[in-house]
Amino acid sequence: MLNFMSKMAANHIVKAKAKHTASVIFLHGLGDNGYGWSAGFEDIQEPHIKYIFPNAPAMPVTLNGGFMMPSWFDLYSLTPTGKEDEAGIKKAADKLKDLIKEEEKLVPSDRIVIGGFSQGGALSMYTALTWEKRLGGLLVLSSWLPLHKSFPQALKWHSGTPVLQCHGEADPMVPFTFGKMSAELMKSFSSTNHEFKTYPGLGHSSSEQEMLDIKEWIKKILPPKD
C-alpha cells in the first residue's frame, strides 16, 4: 500500500478517453505541483492522449533563502551567467528519462511529448537535448535552457523533434530575453521545426491564448493513430 500511495503522490495522470496512442509528460514550476496544470490541460485534452503531471520533491532552494518547497533541482539565480546545480539537474533529468522509458512500454518515443513551465520547462529542455531518440515534441513555457555551456558537447538531440517554446514579454521572473536566447541556441542545433511564440503583456504565467496555441500544436504533432 505504501508503494502504491507513493506512486500516486508522484504523478497525477489524466487518462486517455479513447485508445491511448500518445502521451504528454508536463512538469510544473518551482513551488507548484502537477494538479493545477492538469486542470488546464484537461480543457484542451485530445481523446487519444494520456497526460502525466509529476510532482517535484520538496527540497531547500538557495534562491529562496533555503526555504523548503517542491523543486526539480536547486536554484542559485535566474541569470544566464549564474551558478547552476549541475549535479541536481542531471539527476532530475535521469529521473525524467526513466519516466519516458516507462511510457515507452506503452507508446513509442516519437509519440511522447515532454515539457513544462519555468523550472519544469528548463528540466525538460535539458532532458530532451540529452535524449538520443526522437521525441514526439518538446513544449517549453516561460523557461530557459540550463547548463547551456555544456552544449553542443553534451548534445544527443534528435533534430527532427518538434519544439514549441512560449514566453510572456512581461515576464519578471524568467526575463523574456533569457527565453529568447535559449530559443536561439535551440534553433542552432539544426531543429527546423522550432516555434517561438511570444505574448505581449503576459507575465510569469500562462494565458487562454497560450493554451489554445498549445492545443493546436499538440493536435498537429500527435494526431490520432489507429
What positions carry a catalytic annotation?
Answer: 118, 171, 204
Rounded CA-CA distance 53/51 in Å is 7
DSSP 136: S
Q: From residue 110, how far is each of 57, 100, 217 by CA, in Å?
A: 28, 11, 15
| Separation of CA 93 from chain center | 11
Handedness of CA 206, 219, 137, 38 (dihedral sign): positive
Q: From residue 195, how far is each of 71, 83, 105 by CA, in Å?
A: 27, 28, 29
Q: Is the peptide bond before 108 cis (omega within 30 degrees of 0)?
A: no
Query: Residue 203: left if φ>0, alpha if ψ -120 to 50, beta else—which one?
Result: beta
